[in-house]
């Protein structure tokens, strides 16, 4: 007999589980530690439906994820990391956390059994509808006709950053009839070769030497951010932001960011806010790390021009929001 079944031989739990056949809310209290983990695993085993688990904070969410991974082997267990505190929330804008949120949303829309763990702040987060999310998953296959210009527009909507060459997940590049895309859930980027508007070939390649690795017949490109919205929604949001908030605060020079990402964030910030503050990140007790190469690039190439603008404040010698006096 499995540990899960042994645990649920408790009479009170058996009675509670019988009532789950009826619709409505069902309350179960008194479960602590591993007993909560076993109950969640049992529910997944019996019901075979997606589950959303809400924890009080990110620490407990990560702890529960680790516990469930130790007793559940054949089911995806995803984390949707969002913090309550402003400074911590800016840290979750890191590419690692962004990729986790995208993976969690993609798993939920698949209709396969999955457990997604988030925080109270996570369920408050603005998210697109299931239908809109699915519309922004691109299916590519050999022989399919795709307008490269429309593909570029779609990738921008999905949060991808155009660069001269792809360097990290979330990048894409276009050179003539060749489109390179690095999805968040891929180990290597894809190179799509077009003949006019028809996909002629697709393959993965090594970003270090640009050599092909493996030919592929089809690929699914998932969004590069959990925040995707139509142009109409963005315009409405822009008006509301400008009305209610005069200044936007952005954390930069985090490992995983690219120069293109930072420049795009600055461009969008100037479009949506009357005033902006840019904070150069420094290491603290979070998992997010400062990128010294980006700091050097920003301070030498970008800072001098931005510092001339009266509506932009650059926090380099400030102890707040993860920046401090060097």
Which pLDDT belongs to residue 94? 67
Better-scored residue on pLDDT, 7 or 206: 206
Dump strand ranges (E) for the chain: 51-55, 76-80, 114-119, 138-141, 161-162, 171-175, 178-181, 190-195, 198-205, 212-215, 218-221, 247-252, 275-280, 312-315
7 and 109 belong to one structural domain? yes
Domain boundary among 89, 110, 125: 125
The percent of residues in the chain predicted with pLDDT above 90, rounded, is: 21
* Dist CA 122 CA 127 (whole Å): 10
- Does one domain contain both 13 and 96? yes
| Sequence-distant (≥ 6) Cβ neighbours of residue 241 within 8 angstroms | 248, 272, 273
CA–CA dist 248, 233 (Å, integer): 19
Judge if 114 and 177 occupy the same domain: no
53 plus 100 within the same structural domain: yes
* Boundary of a domain, candidates 188, 221, 254: 221
Residues 190 and 266 in one domain: no
More confident residue, 110 or 253: 253
Each residue of 86-129: pLDDT tens digit?
Answer: 544 554 456 778 888 998 998 888 777 888 999 888 888 878 88
Residue 214 domain-assigned?
yes
Question: Are residues 159 and 59 both part of a single domain?
Answer: no
Tell me, what CATH number does 157's domain have? Answer: 3.30.2060.10
Quick one: average pLDDT of 51-71? 86
Instruction: Examine residue 34 and state whether it is found in any structural domain, yes or no.
Output: yes
Q: Are residues 113 and 140 in the same domain?
A: no
- Whether 321 has a pLDDT exceeding 50, the answer reads no
Least confident stretch, 224-228, 232-236, 258-262 = 232-236
Q: Does residue 248 share a domain with residue 214?
A: no
Q: Which residue has the higher pLDDT, 36 or 320?
A: 36
Residue 158 falls within a domain, yes or no?
A: yes
Report yes or no on 277 lying in a domain: yes
Domain termination residue (choose one: 95, 125, 155):
125
Residue ranges of alpha helices (H) inside 163-289 are 231-244, 259-272
Residue ranges making up the domain that contains 91? 3-21+28-125
CATH number at residue 106: 3.40.50.300
Q: Are residues 201 and 300 in the same domain?
A: no
Any idea which of 77-81, 92-96, 262-266, 319-323 has the lowest mean pLDDT?
319-323
- Report yes or no: 249 and 277 within 8 Å, Cβ to Cβ: yes
Q: Is it the case that residue 66 has pLDDT exceeding 80?
A: yes
Res. 250: pLDDT tops 60: yes
- How many domains does the chain fold into? 3
51 and 71 together in one domain: yes
Residue 322 predicted with pLDDT over 50: no
Residue 226 forms part of a structural domain:
no
Residue 8 shares a structural domain with residue 121: yes
pTM score: 0.66
Residue 228: per-residue pLDDT: 80
What pLDDT does residue 70 have? 83
How sure is the predictor about 7, in pLDDT bands with cuts at 50, 70 and 90? low
Average pLDDT for the chain = 81
157 and 206 in a single domain? The answer is yes
The 10s digit of each residue's pLDDT in 148-169 is: 888 998 898 888 888 888 988 8
Name the residue with higher pLDDT: 144 or 33.
144
- 277 — pLDDT class (breaks 50, 70, 90): confident
């Amino acid at each position: 007999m499995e540990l899960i079944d042994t645990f649920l031989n408790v009479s009170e739990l058996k009675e509670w589980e019988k009532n789950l056949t009826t619709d409505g809310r069902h309350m179960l209290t008194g479960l602590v530690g591993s007993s909560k983990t076993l109950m969640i695993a049992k529910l997944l085993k019996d019901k075979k439906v997606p589950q959303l688990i809400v924890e009080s904070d990110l620490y407990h969410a990560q702890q529960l994820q680790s516990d469930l991974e130790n007793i559940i082997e054949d089911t995806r267990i995803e984390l949707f990391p969002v913090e309550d505190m402003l400074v911590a929330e800016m840290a979750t804008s890191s590419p690692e956390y962004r990729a986790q949120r995208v993976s969690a949303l993609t798993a939920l829309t698949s209709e396969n059994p999955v457990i997604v763990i988030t925080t109270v702040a996570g369920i408050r987060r603005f998210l697109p509808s299931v239908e809109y999310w699915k519309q922004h998953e691109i299916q590519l296959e050999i022989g399919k006709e795709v307008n490269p210009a429309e593909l570029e527009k779609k990738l921008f909507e999905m949060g991808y950053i155009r660069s001269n060459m792809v360097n990290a997940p979330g990048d894409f590049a276009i050179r003539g009839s060749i489109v390179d895309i690095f999805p968040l859930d891929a180990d290597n980027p894809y190179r799509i070769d077009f003949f006019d508007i028809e996909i002629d070939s697709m393959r993965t390649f090594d970003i270090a030497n640009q050599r092909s690795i493996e030919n592929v017949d089809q690929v699914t490109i998932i969004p590069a951010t959990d925040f995707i919205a139509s142009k109409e929604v963005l315009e409405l949001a822009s008006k509301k932001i400008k009305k209610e908030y005069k200044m936007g605060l952005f954390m930069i020079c985090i490992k995983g960011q690219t120069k293109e990402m930072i420049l795009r964030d600055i461009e969008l910030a100037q479009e949506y806010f009357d005033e902006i503050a840019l904070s150069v990140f420094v290491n603290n007790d979070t998992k997010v790390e400062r990128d010294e190469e980006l700091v050097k690039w920003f301070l030498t190439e970008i800072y001098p021009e931005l510092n001339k603008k009266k509506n932009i404040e650059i926090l380099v010698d400030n102890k707040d929001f993860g920046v401090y006096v060097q």
